[in-house]
Amino acid sequence: MKRFFFLLFILTTGIKVKGQTNYSASLIDKALLPYASAVIRNQDVYTEVKDGYTFYRIKRAITVLNNNGDNIAHIVVWYNKSNVIKDIKGSVYDEFGKLIKKFSEKNFEDENAANDFSLFEDSRVKHYIPSIGAYPYTIEYEYELKSKQTLNFNDWRPNPYTGLAIEKSSYTFACRPDFSIRYKEINMPAKVSTGTTKDGLKTYTWQVDNLKAVRNEPYSPISETYLSDVKIAPKNFVYAGISGSFTNWEELGKWNYDKLLANRQALPPQTIQQVQSLTAGITDVKQKAKKLYEYMQGKTSYISIQVGIGGYQPSLASDVDRLNYGDCKALVNYTQALFKAAGIDSWYCVVDGGSDKISMLPDFASMGQGNHIILCLPIKNDTTFLECTSQKKPFGFLGDFTDDRTVLACTPNGGKLLHTPKYTATQNIQSRKAEFTIAPDGELSGNMTTIYKGAQYENREVLVGESITEQVKTLQRMYANISNLTIEKFELKQYKKEMPVATEAVILNAYDFASKDNNKLYFALNPLNRQRSIKDVRNRTNPVYINRGYTDEDEITYTLPAGYRPDMAPLNINLKNPFGSFKVTTVISDNKLIYKRRIEIIDGTYNKESYTDLVDFYQAVADADSYNVMLVKN
């Protein structure tokens, strides 16, 4: 009898082990390991459209090979009142595939995910990071989402990160045969296959197996241009009870204008009178708009609020007027209402905001390609874009958050693709002049004035509105190469033009700036603006991409201590490349050392072979920037 129960135990245990997936890291194909920080062992993403809802079912198992893969294993699930999470659960395994622990939704952090650019201002996020401390480990999890809409579907990105290899990953989109979709495959190694479920649903399936990791290469184009992606958009849809259809940007913009924006701009009579009073006597349309834009900035503030239908519809202009706050949609809509009261036409524009310049795809219209709203003034021969969430930005200045990219303008005649202004390398200027004196004991004293223009105008925006104590702390961090820095006086002036200018004036001193040794003084020639070298990458595959150009100019005049002279050959460097130039000169005259530096970086895409030149260029700049001067007694 004991033998019988022993055999039964062995058999049942064997059946259980056989039914589990073995996540031992040793089973990963060695061919998938180069450049990989993590490996997707198995991923199954299933999307189903049914009765006006979209259901997502995600199952994923990822083996993390080193600490660079921890972020890939970070589980992040976005939700709001229209997108409900159902049943998150998972397990963590060690390198041998042995279960370490299990987790559920109660183990997740839950935070407000709203920010100053998201369309979905009522969003929250649940996230979980397994704390293992030993590599490799595997995290396996699954969850479901129920979305009350059929307008916007999540992209499928089998390898959304560099350093991620894939053993197996599949994506299935299922819908009724009469629910038509469009899809766009970007860098997909596998094509779609279609079929039908036993319930009669039409399916579109993509599957990727044994996909090697893409190496992280500095100065690569935005990842959307070389990682895999599938975008899906409906032809006919229902969004929170509002139906519609589109196959192109013109139709999508028209639906936005007619269904989401219509009848949202009524203002109280007293506000209309205020608009008329503010613009009385102003005949130029742009000057009228500027007056009202600055009125809006002074009256309102940005705040994350839960309004509208799932994040796409702005709150009423009358509510913003009464409450004096709104999110990005609400503030743009309110500004439009003020303009409308003054007889000024404007367009509500959807944009992908961020430091990367991501444009709407001209050949594929979908709702999910934008995350922010800006406003356009379609003035003939002088189209002007406005950022309405900032109380600081000058009229007509976008900065580097929404510049130089294609956006969707929602007009009465339909959607139009427009391009926002580009700030060039010759416009994005940081120009500095300093007059420094070095005392015999090594103390530095003097003043400097820096001018910021174009996209660099906002380099000092963090200082605006802060107390002088906080401003000094921030400046000491910004000029960290000057040890023992004391700020005697600081002044920042902003000239808020369409191409704005900021001027920073600093009076400073720093003891022991120059170190003293055997009647000699040593100091860094350029303590204000230093370039770091960049990592060399052999056998590069991506082209070189420089996202934004700029020009920095520095001139420092050092008055040297009496009785000392510099023991150095004149520094004279002049480098030129298609992607930029660098020039440094030094002049010694009487007891003065004059240092001039100019670097210009030109944005654009360059062939991959030029990366070696870029590495050499930045290394030469870094070497010149770290040059030390020795002063000796006469």
Per-residue model confidence (pLDDT) at position 9: 32
Average pLDDT over residues 382-390: 96
548 or 119, greater pLDDT: 548
Q: What confidence tier does 448 reach under pLDDT thresholds 50, 70, 90? A: very high
Q: With residue 486 as reference, give the H or E element that holds it.
A: strand 485-495
Q: Would the pLDDT of 284 be above 70?
A: yes
Q: Does domain 16-239 have CATH number 3.40.605.10?
A: no
**Domain 429-633 is of which CATH architecture?**
Sandwich (2.60)
Of 106-110, 146-150, 448-452, which one has max mean pLDDT?
448-452
d(CA 479, CA 155): 43
Predicted confidence (pLDDT) at residue 281 exceeds the cutoff of 60 = yes
- Three-state DSSP at 347 gives strand
Q: What is the mean pLDDT of residues 299-314?
A: 70
The pTM of the full predicted model, rounded to 2 decimals, is 0.91
Return the SS3 of 294.
Answer: helix
The per-residue pLDDT for 1 is 37
What is the reported pLDDT for 131? 77
What does the pLDDT look like over 209-267, one tens digit per residue? 999 999 999 999 999 899 999 999 999 999 878 899 999 999 999 999 999 999 999 99
Asked if residues 485 and 506 have their Cβ atoms less than 8 Å apart, the reply is no
Exposed (0-12), middle (13-18) or buried (19+): which is 237, by Cβ within 10 Å?
buried
**Do 205 and 171 touch, CB atoms closer than 8 A?**
yes
DSSP string, 383-409: -EEE--S-SSSPTT--TTSS-SSEEEE
**Distance between CA atoms of 172 and 57, rounded to whole angstroms?**
10
CA atoms within 13 A on the CB side of 226: 16
pLDDT more than 70, % of the chain: 94
**Domain 247-419: top CATH class:** alpha beta
Local confidence band at 86 (pLDDT 50, 70, 90 cut-offs)? confident
How far apart CA 26 and CA 439 sit, in angstroms, is 64
How many CB atoms are located within 10 Å of the residue 275 CB? 23
So what's the pLDDT on residue 126?
Answer: 87
Compute the radius of gyration of the chain from its Cα atoms: 30
- In the predicted model, is pLDDT for residue 451 greater than 60? yes
Ramachandran assignment for 35, one of left (phi > 0), alpha (psi -120 to 50 degrees), beta (any other) = left
Q: Where are the domains of the chain?
A: 16-239, 247-419, 429-633
334 CB contacts (<8 Å, ≥6 apart)?
296, 300, 317, 320, 321, 326, 388
Of 575, 576, 581, whose CA–CA distance to 549 is shortest? 581
| DSSP conformational letter for 181 | E
End-to-end CA distance of the chain: 104
